[in-house]
Amino acid sequence: KQEVTQIPAALSVPEGENLVLNCSFTDSAIYNLQWFRQDPGKGLTSLLLIQSSQREQTSGRLNASLDKSSGRSTLYIAASQPGDSATYLCAASGNTPLVFGKGTRLSVIA
Amino acid sequence: GAGVSQSPSNKVTEKGKDVELRCDPISGHTALYWYRQSLGQGLEFLIYFQGNSAPDKSGLPSDRFSAERTGGSVSTLTIQRTQQEDSAVYLCASSKNPVGGLGNTIYFGEGSWLTVV
């Protein structure tokens, strides 16, 4: 059974810092690793999807990497801004629907 | 529609009543998913539809929970005899392709916030 873990559970950084969020999964037989953002009281917004055959994906200031063999993914956020404050969730899918980590709650302080 | 649409956005119900939550997926998306998010908890998978059939309903917590999908589009999640522990956000999502494919991005709605008093 797939299990997804995210570390740290919460992170507070000053504006402008680069930061890394970590995600690990127990079953490497995945097809996709997807990163989401959730603002308080809102649904999930898809940020990036990395296919199992890929090593990384980039969108603007976001870069997600995948090391399938070691069961790890990272989300790198460059030059963080207060508007980046949210909970970031990673989720892995294989032959079953997405399995989610519990998220990292990010606060970017102006 | 442009995105996944869920209704109601908020629902307060008395313990013991039945509730129905509706999900309208992105047009053309064949796969539909229901998840539950309780306060301070992660997302819990409930059920997955491919077309009108549900190949995976392993996450439904009890027989009080049921879901259906008609016409390969709209889905309804029904909770009978609601209990206080059912209070949560119920999130619906859809994807163009079935589970098990590369590059299958999943899109979520804003959720239905259920409070059982």
Q: How many residues does chain B have?
A: 117
pLDDT, tens only, A35-59: 999 999 899 999 999 999 999 999 9
Question: Is A36 an 8 Å CB contact of chain B?
Answer: yes
B45 with A99: Cβ contact below 8 A: yes
Read off the tokens for A79: 């030059």
Confidence class of residue A9 from pLDDT cuts 50, 70 and 90? Answer: very high
Give dist(CA A84, CA A95) in Å, integer.
32
Q: Which of A18, A13, A4, A14 is nearest to A90 (CA)?
A: A4
Ranges in chain B, pLDDT < 50: none
Tell me, yes or no, if B67 comes closer than 8 A to chain A by beta carbon: no
What pLDDT is stored for residue B1 in this prediction? 52
Sheet architecture: strand order including B65-69:
B5-7, B19-24, B75-79, B65-69
The stretches of chain A forming alpha helices (DSSP H) are: none
Contact B108 A93 (CB under 8 A): no
What's the pLDDT tens digit per position in B59-86? 999 999 999 999 889 999 999 999 999 9
Flag whether pLDDT at A85 surpasses 90: yes
The answer to whether residue B101 neighbours chain A at the CB level (below 8 Å) is yes
Q: What is the largest CA-CA distance in chain A?
A: 42
Q: Average pLDDT in the A4-28 region? A: 96
Q: Indicate the pairing of strand B43-50 with strand B53-56.
A: antiparallel
Mean pLDDT of A97-103: 95
